[in-house]
Structure 1
Amino acid sequence: MALPTPNLYPPFNIVRLSHVEFGVKDLAKSRAFYVDTLGLQVTDETSEVIYLRAMEERGHHCIVLRKSAFSEARDLGFKVFDEEELDKAAHFFKAKGLPVEWVERPYQARTFRTRDPHGIPLEFYARMDRLPPIHQQYALYRGVKPLRIDHFNCFSSNVDESVAFYNEIGFRVTEYTADEETGRLWAAWTHRKGGVHDIAFTNGTGPRLHHTAFWVPTPLNIIDLLDLMATTGWVANIERGPGRHGISNAFFLYILDPDGHRIEIYCSDYQTVDPDLEPIKWDLKDPQRQTLWGAAAPRSWFEHGSTFAGTDVRHSDLKAQPIIAP
């Protein structure tokens, strides 16, 4: 299947990805990982929930950790341009026969929940409480010094269908890889905010959340985090990296939180704001596609993901595989 023609005038205006909620079994242990180790800032917490933001963010939160009997991913949050665009978004999803549920969310104005055609739970809003800037309060910087949430990557049982739907609502493909035998997409990176991606889709059993990524200042921050994790009881949570991706050019590290939710630490991708920017195609069998340099991805990286609450999964019927480390 060919890539869809970019939709430069979508039915509503999504600004960027915004936040994600994780169900976690041990809130104290999750706090030790996200706050004490990664360095995210607590903006509110109770015995049941912790709200976090990164150092450059002015919105109230980018991650919500909620105590749960289940380790699961919940809604993926997206910010739209204004209240009028929020109403346009609700109309779009209703017209597609997809659920629209207006919900109350702390620290957010009007918000609705829905699902994409594969069942990924989504949340849209236009206004979140704004907090004072802290990006120059250097005494607060800890861990990997996370600056902002950067993207989601999701397993999809049909990447062509996922890309077609998100293209319809204005996400543009920056890079992709396809199975040469069938012509079907194996993975694609799509964006709204002008980076390589806000949300990407990878072939596999889905829908599941593959990872949530945070942007950091330099590769040295990642090395510092590795030293910290290796000496504070988190070495077993290092899954892959450090290394550099061919796709996106990013310097990366993948780690797992106490519930198995995968986090990517990420820097050094590139600007994609030009509307006529042509997507970059990669050969699925090119080892530098996934790892320009560094160790090949382990099998867990292709198979493990966080299930979405209330969402059934199905296996992909595309059996093509990239190179997997033994």
Structure 2
Amino acid sequence: MPIPAPNLYPPFNIVRLSHVELIVTDLAKSRAFYVDTLGLQVTDEDSEAIYLRAMEERGHHCIVLRKGDAPRARDLGFKLFGDEDLDKAEAFFRAKGLPVEWVDRPFQSRTFRTRDPHGIPLEFYVKMDRLPPIHQKYALYRGVKPLRIDHFNCFSPNVDESVAFYNEIGFRVTEYTEDEESGHLWAAWTHRKGGVHDMAFTNGTGPRLHHTAFWVPTPLNIIDLLDLMATTGWVDNIERGPGRHGISNAFFLYIRDPDGHRIEIYCSDYQTVDPDLEPIKWDLKDPQRQTLWGAAAPRSWFEEGSLFEGQEPVPAQLNAQPIIAP
């Protein structure tokens, strides 16, 4: 199925991805993982939630850890350009017959929640409380030295449909994997901010959150994190990597938090600002698609993900088999 032409004049203007809220079962364990190990900065916390930001971020938070009975992913947050875009976005989703709920969010301006056609929970806002810059406060840097949230990847039961919908609201495809036998998309990487992706889709039972990614300064920071995790009780939370992706060319590591939420540590992809940049096509059976060096991903990477709160996943419509590590 052909990739849709870029929609350069969408109905409203999304600047970038912004934040995610994860339901965790033990705030103390999650704090030890995200703060003490990864190095994210606490901006607010109480007995029910912890708000975190990375070192380059001026907004109040990029991730919210909220205490709950069972692990779940909640809203994927996106920042819009202006108030008029928020009203246009509301009208767009209502016209599609998708739910719109205006909500009060701490540290954010007017915000509404909705879902995409497959049920991924989305949150849109314009302004978040600004905090003083800390990117030059080097005494605060620790762990993997996370600089900023980079992207989401979600399992989709129909990647063609997901790409078509997000294309309509202005996401542009940078790279994609096609199943040669059926001609359908198996995965796609789409962006708003000029990197390889803000939002990616992987074929599978969905919708589920596959991972949230954080950008770090260099591959050496990832090596340092591996040494730290291996010697502080987190070795079993290392899932895949380190390595270099064929798709995106990024250096990566996949790890799991105490509740199994997958986090990618990520650096070294490329710029995609040009509106006429041609998407790069990959064959599902290309061994360098997953990892440039040829190493296949483990089965868990293709089958496990975080359930979205209030949404039951459905099986993928495309039955195509990627290369899986033995």
| Same-fold call, TM cutoff 0.5 | yes
Which amino acid letter does the alignment assign opposite residue 191 of structure 1? H
- State the distance in 2 between where 1:132 and 1:229 align: 30
Which amino acid letter does the alignment assign opposite residue 284 of structure 1? L
- State the distance in 1 between where 2:167 and 2:153 align: 16
- State the distance in 1 between where 2:175 and 2:295 align: 22
Residue 137 of structure 1 corresponds to 137
TM-aligned CA deviation for residue 50 of structure 1: 0.2
Instruction: Name structure 2 gaps, 5 residues minimum.
Output: none
TM-aligned CA deviation for residue 20 of structure 1: 0.2
Deviations 1:204-247 (A, max 9, x none): 00000000000000000000000000000000000000000000
Q: Secondary structure at the match of 2:248?
A: helix
Which amino acid letter does the alignment assign opposite residue 315 of structure 2? H
- State the distance in 1 between where 2:224 and 2:87 align: 44
Q: Percent identity?
A: 87
1:15 is the counterpart of 2:51: no
After superposition, where does 1:35-114 map in structure 2 within 5 Å? 35-114=35-114
> Are the aligned partners of 2:288 and 2:294 in contact in 1 as well (CA < 8 Å)?
no
Q: Secondary structure at the match of 2:182?
A: coil
Q: Secondary structure at the match of 2:19?
A: strand
Which amino acid letter does the alignment assign opposite residue 172 of structure 1? R
TM-aligned CA deviation for residue 325 of structure 1: 0.3
After superposition, where does 1:106-125 map in structure 2 within 5 Å? 106-125=106-125
Deviates more, 1:75-84 or 1:285-294: 285-294
Q: Secondary structure at the match of 2:132?
A: coil
> Are the aligned partners of 2:156 and 2:208 in contact in 1 as well (CA < 8 Å)?
yes
Residue 261 of structure 2 corresponds to 261
Residue 197 of structure 2 corresponds to 197
TM-aligned CA deviation for residue 316 of structure 1: 0.7
Deviations 1:295-314 (A, max 9, x none): 32000000000000000110
Q: State the Cα RMSD in Å.
A: 0.6
Q: Secondary structure at the match of 2:239?
A: strand
- State the distance in 2 between where 1:313 and 1:104 align: 27
TM-aligned CA deviation for residue 294 of structure 1: 6.0
1:219 is the counterpart of 2:219: yes
After superposition, where does 1:26-41 map in structure 2 within 5 Å? 26-41=26-41
Deviations 1:159-178 (A, max 9, x none): 00000000000000000011
> Are the aligned partners of 1:178 and 1:186 in contact in 2 as well (CA < 8 Å)?
yes
Q: Secondary structure at the match of 1:222?
A: helix
TM-score scaled to structure 1, two decimals?
A: 0.99
- Once superposed, which parts of structure 1, at least 4 consecutive aligned residues long, lie more than 4 Å away? none
TM-score scaled to structure 2, two decimals?
A: 0.99
Q: Secondary structure at the match of 1:165?
A: helix
Which amino acid letter does the alignment assign opposite residue 79 of structure 1? K
> Are the aligned partners of 1:242 and 1:294 in contact in 2 as well (CA < 8 Å)?
no
- State the distance in 2 between where 1:294 and 1:251 align: 14
Q: Secondary structure at the match of 1:254?
A: strand
TM-aligned CA deviation for residue 17 of structure 1: 0.2
